[in-house]
Amino acid sequence: MMTNGVVHANIFGIKDWVTPYKIAVLALLHEMSTTKPMALLDRRRLNKLILPLQQGPDLTLEQFLKIVEECCLRMVNAVKHRYASSLNKELFFKKNFILKTPEPLITFSLFLGLFMRQMLLAYNKLSFSQVYKLYKSLQQYCHRVQPELSALPTEDMELTSNEDPSAESDESQGPLSQKQAEYFLARQAYLLKNDENKAMSPAKLQDELNNILKFNPDFAEAHYLSYLNSIRVQDIYISTHSLLHYFDRLILSGGEGKSNGDEGYGRSLRYAVLNLATLHCRFGHYQQADLALQEAIRIAQEANDHVCLQHCLSWLYTLEQMKGSDSVVLTEDSVKIAAHFCLPYLASLGIQSLVQQGAKQGMPANKLLDALRGTDIMHWKQSLSELIEISLAQTTSIWRMYGKSTMARQQAQLLLNMNSLEPVNFSVQQNNTEAFAVALCHLAELHAEQGLYAVVSDIMKHLKQQFPPHTQHAKLWMLCDLKIQFEKAMNDGKYHLAEPHVTAISALNSTEGLYRKAQLLKALNQTTEASQILQQLQQQCEKSKDIEMTIRVMLASAELHWDSSGFATALPLLLQALALSRQHNLQSLTSETLLHLAFTQLMLGIPEQALVLVQDVLESVLAHGSLIDKGRALLLAARCQMALAGAAAQEHRLTALEQAVHTLDEAAVYFSQLDCKERMRDIHYLQARLHHTLGNISQRNKCSMLFRLLDQELPSSGMTVVSHL
Amino acid sequence: MAATRSSEFGDLVQIKKQLISITAQCKERGLVHSVKWASELAFSLDPLPLNEIPPAPELTEEDARDLDALCLAKSYFDLKEYDRAAYFLRGCRSQKAYFLYMYSRYLSGEKKKDDETVDSLGPLEKGQVRNEALRELRVELSKKHSAGELDGFALYLYGVVLRKLDLLKEAVEIFVAATHALPLHWGSWLELCNLITNIEMLKSLSLPECWVRDFFMAHMFTELQMIKEALQKYQSLMEAGFAKSTYIISQIAVAYHNIRDIDQALYLFNELREQDPFRIENMDTFSNLLYVRSMKPELSYLAHNLVEIDKYRVETCCVIGNYYSLRSQHEKAALYFQRALKLNPRCLGAWTLMGHEYMEMKNTSAAIQAYRHAIEVNKRDYRAWYGLGQTYEILKMPFYSLYYYRKAHQLRPNDSRMLVALGECYEKLSQQVEAKKCYWRAYSVGDVERMALLKLAKLHEQLNEFDDAAQCYIIYIQDIFSCGEQLEHAEVSTALRYLGQYYFKNKLYDEASLCAQRCCDYNDVSSSSAAHSQLRDANLSPFGKMLILSPKQVM
């Protein structure tokens, strides 16, 4: 057969052909349809068995019989008998009776009927010598396992015993028919997409693919799977090779499918370049990706292919984003055009990308959430489950950014508990997308904030299992894990433990790493270095417009000012941070800034103002903040109360002091949950002082003893209780 | 080395005797190709006087017993009834009969395999069809081998069986043993040649000291693209007395073809055809050469001649394909290459050539397919990789074609054409730095088409790097004039014009005027008019400039 002037390997266009194994399956089918009385359970088991048997690779007779035996003992003998009788030469040549079973049980138009008809057709097409060959192989197939089925002088048995093991293993791995190979590829590709852990290991899969390609080099799809597989192990060499090979092959077959051959051919060319661009994107070769993308755009433009152009555009803004430059305009264009050409997937992907950028740049929250809701309605209408997941994960992130931990938790749970809309194939539900990873990471961080470290480690374990370290989204949880551990070490005051985490974080995210380094240096009292790093960070953040980080850097700088008792100099910085965080609706950062402000005011000697500020934010901190924030806010409130009490009249003084003791007790609860010993020491100290003033001697003694215990345990920090929040 | 060789080859009479006896032995065993090689070589040596002709070897007892069966079997064997031959030989004891017995079983398996390929059960099974006899043969031969009962011929057969079973390492060992046991049997050497992939492997083998070894080494060097060494070897063989051997002449011609010394190769092929006018082997290579030189009448004569001799040969089809291609009848050319592929699907050259034809016909998708097939047959086929690159470049996908050109470049690191192609792609992608590197490298490895420097110069010109551009043009002009022959695409006038302008700008008026004058020699209208005006400027301005400059000079 010639297409476009080139000889095709698949001459008859037969996708499947009769093999001894297929005949065995047919024998089983025949038996099943003829044996009327059968236990319901047995029948059900057999029915379940048939599909994998029919679609799987050829088994040896021994394996086949064993599988049948496991399901239904009675059936084995019948099948064996029927199968052996098919060996009878005369019957075989007349017309293999197994092949015609027009039983009412099996409808011709349905799946099994189709299979039987295909087999019959394939059988009828065989020439005499082919039938003879089939007969011979049938004989061999039987004798290899069960010499008792027929008494043939087994000359070749001797030979097989003499063979080397390599040839033997080669034998067991028979060739797959095109049907079987297609089924295999579809299954593995689905698994790769949805749950990589359940797919074959990369090495084994590659072996299988090589095997398929050995027997049918024209089977282009195998090259594509090989491309996917080698991306899994980050092998750029083989993945490029396979990708190009696939498209070289596809170019011809692509022309076949379309009515307009030329169109299909040009189309696959465009997508070939686009795929190459994505490949380079994936490996972080931005320049190469850019070149490939430009090429794709140029050819698509020449061919007037708007859909392809649209795909290119969406990749273009993704690439720009990856490179860290501003791509809002591009994205907006992309959304508009996608909507014009009725490409809902691309359009809402663009909107999601816009929302992400908008959130970073401080767009009003209601607009962002409105946009997401609008797209969500469309997703549900069109069952774009992938986008629904992304949207949920994005909402989680946005709520988290705004500092509404409850909402974030709720959205994350919603995503994790949602049933996927996609059909569940091969008993695998899709749950390895980036959205899941993001949601799980958020959950882990949220739990860590509440001090529930056991839960966090459970989540991390699940993440590690679901997204093994070599996979694409593994970096997400790695960073998250490191951050949590760093925070924990810092809270515990174990700075030596925090140090290696800083290095690891910088490897994954340099900005975050710098920030953490500054924090660590600040905690170690190396203020000069810390301030240098903070300045550097400030510049970086201004360039990349990372608002969250900017505010955090400002707060850290303000803290540095406190250390040098420059409380007045910290004020403008804090006010700036406050303005920024309010503008961007970052509630948790706003309350944090306010606490900082209150502390500064306290230090500047205006405790009334400070207390008012603290009481203002206390509500939201207690509602959404992390344990440490709650503790810190209460501690600050208590200190304000103490400061006020000093100035108050005698009778008010005692009640005010008692109130302060009470507040400190509350704070102590949070800190003890976190096991934050340094803070506990401070609290005990303050409480002892208060009890002393109040004259509760026993209480005072108890508190001072606790303080003493902790103080001995902890290395004496240079800081006094007054100089930090 | 020279001394030993002269002593080895000194006795041509002895060699001739050996050749005659091995011819007889191979003939008895049906090893036709080795017979052909040996007798070709023997033919090139002077005939022996009657008393020198070696007598037929003595028959042993066993031989005598098996004589009738052997005769019968051999006749069946010659009629390609291998199973029948094997049946009558099964009880024989002598070495000769045993070899023929095994060999006919092997050939029977091969024949059945070929027949079965046609009506296998399905397309995927095609890769599965194999010679069923191989396993049994291997088992029996390995038993005999461990008992040490195999002679040189049987060892050769054992090696072939192993190779067919893809047990290459074992096969190499056995073939080496076969050459030791029977160094005169060319078949073993040839098989060994196919299994050796690099020079290190070649050096690690211990081969017998025999005059055949020199032939083997020369052949090996050609295969490994070490053409200089190969030519040296062949030259010394010719000097040693094999000057008339058509085999050596053809080998040398092929070697010259590989290093693109077209004139030498053409000369040798013509000589070869004079000596052996009905030869078909290697004629496809000859036709390639004629094609490159666009020698239409010669090519058409060759094609006519070969069709007369045998039209169902791969070589003939390739020659006809080339002929049609030269006459720009690409459809017919493709048809003939397809026919060649039908005759031998593993014929690598035909796939690539077919790809070229489809390229000419602008049928890019078919061309891609053809090239891909060529790569599948041999991954190291740099022409197919290059062709793929070209195809994608034609489709205006320079980035995409980079990968293919890179592959081709990897395989032929010192071929300037790939480098120039790479450079052009980079230029199209506006990656000037890489493009410059490629062009410069292309020039450094010896530019075949002499285009690299010109392109480099133009690139420098675009980037306003005037000094570099001028430098490149100067080298280019020197290069063009030193090579003597007139090249069609030479753009000497462009180079001269640029240089003229460059010198003019740098106030080197003498050089500028010289360049402009030389430029006027070329009858390129646009450039000459520009040059004329420039010449005028160059002649006039020195005075004008000098007048202006003179006050300063006085100061």
pLDDT, position A194 = 74
pLDDT in tens, A485-518: 998 888 887 888 888 899 999 888 888 898 999 9
Which residues are CB-neighbours of A561 under 8 A, at least 6 positions away? A567, A569, A570, A573
Helix extents (H) in A467-509: 474-492, 495-508
3-state secondary structure labels for all residues of A227-239: HHHHHHCCCHHHH
Q: Report d(CA A47, CA A71) in Å as an integer.
A: 10
Q: Terminal CA-to-CA distance of chain A, rounded, Å?
A: 82
When pLDDT is cut at 50, 70 and 90, the band that residue A444 belongs to is very high
Q: Which two tokens stand for residue A345?
A: 């997937």
Dist CA A292 CA A288 (whole Å): 6
Tell me how far the alpha carbon of residue B257 is from its chain's centroid.
Answer: 7
pLDDT in tens, A357-409: 888 777 788 888 888 888 888 888 887 778 888 888 889 988 888 888 888 88
B369 vs A176: CB contact, 8 Å cut-off? no
pLDDT above 70 for A9 = no
Residue with tokens 């997409």, as numbered in its chain = A193
Cα-Cα-Cα-Cα dihedral sign, residues A158, A162, A166, A169: positive
Q: Which of B251-265, B448-462, B534-548 has the lowest mean pLDDT?
A: B534-548
Q: What local confidence, expressed as pLDDT, does residue B405 receive?
A: 92
Q: How many residues does chain A have?
A: 725
Q: pLDDT (tens digit, 9 = 90+) per residue, A336-349? A: 888 887 788 888 88
Name the amino acid, one letter, at A52. P
DSSP symbols for B385-421: HHHHHHHHHHTT-HHHHHHHHHHHHHH-TT-HHHHHH
Q: Where is pLDDT greater, at B4 or B219?
A: B219
Name the nearest CA neighbour of B122 among A118, A250, A189: A118
Chain B contact for A98 (CB, 8 A cutoff): no
A646 vs A397 pLDDT, higher one: A397
Q: How far apart are CA B324 and CA B354, in angstroms?
A: 12
Are A212 and A174 spatial neighbours (Cβ–Cβ below 8 Å)?
Answer: no
Report the alpha-carbon distance of residue B3 to residue A711 in Å, rounded.
Answer: 96
**What values do phi and psi take at B147, rounded to 5?**
-80, -5
- Residue range A75-118, pLDDT digits in tens: 777 777 777 766 665 455 445 454 455 555 555 556 777 777 77
What average pLDDT does the segment B387-406 reach? 89
Q: Radius of gyration (Cα) for chain A, nearest Å?
A: 35
Question: DSSP character for A428?
Answer: B
Indicate the pLDDT class of residue A482, thresholds 50, 70 and 90: very high
Q: Could you identify the residue written with the tokens 């000093």?
A: A646
What is the C-alpha separation between A464 and A472, in angstroms, rounded?
12
- Chain B interface mutation, best of A185, A212, A269, highest count of B Cβ atoms under 10 Å: A269
**Is the Cβ pair B123, A167 closer than 8 Å?**
no
Interface residue B399 vs chain A (CB under 8 A) = yes
Residues 226 to 265 of A: which have CB under 8 A from any B CB? 240, 244-245, 248-249, 251-252, 255, 265
Cβ–Cβ under 8 Å, residues B205 and B172: yes
Angstrom distance (rounded) from CA B240 to CA B5: 8
Q: Do A269 and B395 touch (CB under 8 A)?
A: yes
* Per-chain mean pLDDT for chain A: 78
Q: Å from A398 to nearest chain B CA? A: 39
The Cα B160–Cα B168 span in angstroms is 10
Enumerate the residues of chain B whose CB falls inside 8 A of the CB of residue A251. 365, 368-369
d(CA A531, CA A514): 11
What is the Rg, in whole angstroms, of the alpha carbon atoms belonging to chain B?
31
For A235, residues 6+ apart whose C-beta sits below 8 A from its C-beta are: none
pLDDT confidence band for B194 (50 / 70 / 90): confident
For chain B, helix (H) and strand (E) counts, in that order, are: 30, 0
Nearest CA to CA, how far is B192 from chain A (Å)?
23
Residue A361 C-alpha, separation from nearest chain B C-alpha, in angstroms: 35
Question: Ranked by mean pLDDT, which of A184-188, A504-508, A694-698 comes out on top?
Answer: A504-508
Give residue B504's pLDDT band: very low, low, confident or very high (50, 70, 90): confident
Residue A383 backbone phi and psi in degrees, to 5: 55, 45
Tokens of B188: 């073993």
Confidence (pLDDT) at A457: 92
DSSP, collapsed to helix, strand or coil, labels residue B117 as helix
Sign of CA dihedral A435, A438, A444, A445: negative
Q: What percent of chain A has pLDDT over 70?
A: 82
> Does B120 lie at the interface with A, CB-CB under 8 angstroms?
yes
Helix (H, G, I), strand (E, B) or coil at B147: coil
| pLDDT on residue A429 | 62
A17/B125 touch (CB, cutoff 8 Å), yes or no: yes
pLDDT in tens, B517-542: 777 777 654 555 555 565 555 554 44
Residue B138, pLDDT > 80, answer: yes
pLDDT at A383 (0 to 100): 78
Q: Write the CA distances from B544 to A213, B532, B549, integer angstroms.
A: 78, 18, 9
Neighbouring C-beta atoms of residue A304, cutoff 10 Å: 8
| CA B526, B529, B531, B533 torsion-angle sign | negative
Residue A504 to residue B256: CA distance in whole angstroms: 60
Give the mean pLDDT of B87-91.
86
- Alpha-carbon distance of A588 to B464, in angstroms, equals 57
Taking one residue from A and the other from B, the number of pairs with CB-CB distance under 8 angstroms is 109
What's the predicted TM-score (pTM) here?
A: 0.74
Which residue of chain A comes nearest to B334, CA vs CA? A5
